[in-house]
Structure 1
Amino acid sequence: MQDENKIIIALDMASEEEVMALLRLLDPASCRVKVGKELFTRCGPDLVRRIGGMGFDIFLDLKFHDIPHTVNKAVAAAAELGVWMLTLHAAGGADMLRAARAAIADAEHRPLLVAVTLLTSLGEDDLVVQGIQRSPLEQVQRLASLAQECDMDGVVCSAAEAADLRKLLRKDFLLVTPGIRPQGDPANDQKRIVTPAAAVQAGSDYLVIGRPITRARAPAERLLSIQREISGNG
């Protein structure tokens, strides 16, 4: 069954007070939320528990990338927090990804595991600097295939690559796409960006949207307008 709750709001804020002020304006049934590195580093697991206690599904975006044993323990700890979804870097390799899956094999709560393919801030020139002689799409395809082979639930990718990945991967393999900007919004530090409607049409399952909602005068209304755009009623 297709999940109609497609929008994940990125809580890219510096304080718990800012986060709580925003969440009081939102309905947990209308969106999910992302806790990333800055917020988690500042506020820690207690804030994750508090947000979960408000009824929000939490996308814990810490992009685990380490030796398999360390990632195994980190994923187990994240599962204990009750998060809905978490990220790992596909570039960590097959053993690391399989260690993440093993960490929650017998867990009471099993978060979705999604592997980051290529950060949306990176372009072809950045890959050349790293010594990778492939296009961004080729690199994404290679890492996405690896993630599927290692029993991940999905990948994080640019919506610009979603249509190609849909042809390559299982139909139930999730595509989570940051770099989403409604028509007319600034790109900021993202290079490979797509509008919400175009992302869904390309095959994205979940859209990570931050500043267009969090910095809006009326975040709940902005969320609703994006939902209408996605459904074609905008």
Structure 2
Amino acid sequence: MREERPIIALDFPSFDDVKDFLEHFPEDEKLYVKIGMEFFYAIGPEIVHYLKGLGHSIFLDLKLHDIPNTVRSAMSVLGTFGIDMVTVHAAGGVEMMSEAKKVLGNQAKLVAVTQLTSTSEEDMRDCQNIQTTVQESVVNYARKAKEAGLDGVVCSAQEVELIKAATAADFLCVTPGIRPAGSAIGDQKRVMTPQEAHQIGSDYIVVGRPIIQAANPWDAYHEIKKQWNS
């Protein structure tokens, strides 16, 4: 089922910054927020418990990538946090992803990062020595994530149709790199507007700077939410 709320990437360096940001929203507005590495490493599990206590849904984007046993052990801890979704790297392999899913179970959705939306085809071929197209690499990772029993993948919205065709209609596609029409794309390479992501079949969209750096985050959030659900 498609999530109607855009996921807000809380890319802040401090707890106070997040508290200040949330002041822009009514208390009864229950958000879906993403906690990434910078924020989690700076604050720790306390930030997860704080946000869950406010009634918000949590996408914990830590992109676990290690040997299967280590990822399994780490996921057994993260699964106790009450999170709603969490990430591993598909490059870790089927066994690693499968072990993570086994220990997480139905406590949260588990999705695999395919190719980062900041990765260009030139970068992929040069640094990763993957001599295919980005789309072929992403679809291959999606198939492997499906094989491992995961709920879906993180991908560019540009790859959603291909992934759904290669896996299943209900295989989740979580799409960062979302930018409203006319906004700066920053360091993202493969971007799409909220309306385009909806039309293409994304299940979740992740939006950071267009909301958190807006003069009025509440207005920016609702405009993107309106576009996403249009």
What TM-score do you get using the length of structure 1 for normalisation?
0.94
Counterpart in 1 of 2:18? 19
Aligned-pair Cα RMSD in Å: 1.3
Counterpart in 2 of 1:151? 149
The alpha-carbon deviation at position 39 of structure 1 amounts to 0.3
The alpha-carbon deviation at position 30 of structure 1 amounts to 5.2
- Would the aligned equivalents of 2:2 and 2:202 in 1 still touch at CA under 8 Å? no
Counterpart in 2 of 1:86? 86
For residues 174-214 of structure 1, what are the alpha-carbon distances to aligned partners after superposition, in whole Å with 9 as ceiling and x for unaligned?
Answer: 10000000001101000000001101111100000000000
| Count of paired positions | 228
Q: 1:110 aligns with which of 77, 91, 107?
A: 107
Counterpart in 1 of 2:35? 35
Q: Secondary structure at the match of 1:96?
A: helix
- Would the aligned equivalents of 2:94 and 2:148 in 1 still touch at CA under 8 Å? yes
The alignment status of 1:166 with 2:164, answered yes or no, reads yes
Q: 2:183 aligns with which of 182, 185, 195?
A: 185
- Which of structure 1's runs of 4+ aligned residues deviate more than 4 A? 27-30
Q: Secondary structure at the match of 2:44?
A: helix
Counterpart in 2 of 1:6? 5
Q: Secondary structure at the match of 1:120?
A: coil
Q: Distance in 2 between matches of 1:30 and 1:47?
A: 16
The residue type equivalent to 2:183 in the other structure is D
The alpha-carbon deviation at position 29 of structure 1 amounts to 4.8
Q: Distance in 2 between matches of 1:3 and 1:95?
A: 28
What TM-score do you get using the length of structure 2 for normalisation?
0.95
Percent identity, aligned pairs only?
Answer: 43
Counterpart in 2 of 1:70? 70
Q: 1:119 aligns with which of 103, 116, 121?
A: 116
Which structure 1 residue ranges, 5 or more long, are not aligned? none
The alpha-carbon deviation at position 6 of structure 1 amounts to 3.5
1:124-143 to 2 correspondence within 5 Å? 124-129=121-126, 130-143=128-141
Q: Distance in 1 between matches of 2:29 and 2:139?
A: 33
Q: Distance in 1 between matches of 2:104 and 2:227?
A: 36
For residues 13-47 of structure 1, what are the alpha-carbon distances to aligned partners after superposition, in whole Å with 9 as ceiling and x for unaligned?
Answer: 10100111112323575530000000001100111
Deviates more, 1:162-171 or 1:18-27: 18-27
The alpha-carbon deviation at position 171 of structure 1 amounts to 1.3
- Would the aligned equivalents of 1:5 and 1:31 in 2 still touch at CA under 8 Å? no
- Would the aligned equivalents of 1:62 and 1:86 in 2 still touch at CA under 8 Å? yes
